[in-house]
Amino acid sequence: MIGDRITDIIAGRKAGCKTILIQSGKHIDAPIETSMPIEGNIQPDAVFLDLSQAARFILAGEPD
């Protein structure tokens, strides 16, 4: 799961996915409001400045 907000990362984790946070500027915005509790200790598996960096990481076949 690739996203630019912590709520994207939380959704990815809840779905059982590896997660990548893109630092688009929105990554520092407040979480999107939801009726589900937001766990503040969830962190992405990787962080990149842009989508092209994330794509190179994925295509390189980085180990789990």
Q: What is the model's pLDDT at position 28?
A: 64
pLDDT tens, residue order, the chain (64 aa): 999 988 888 889 989 999 999 998 766 666 666 676 666 688 899 999 999 999 999 999 865 5
The model's pTM: 0.75
Q: What is the pLDDT of residue 52?
A: 93
Distance from C-alpha of 29 to C-alpha of 17, rounded to nearest angstrom:
22
Instruction: Round to whole Å and give the CA distance between 40 and 6.
Output: 9
H, E, C per residue of 19-38: CEEECCCHHHCCCCCCCCCC
Identify whether the C-beta of residue 10 lies closer than 8 Å to the C-beta of residue 38.
Answer: yes
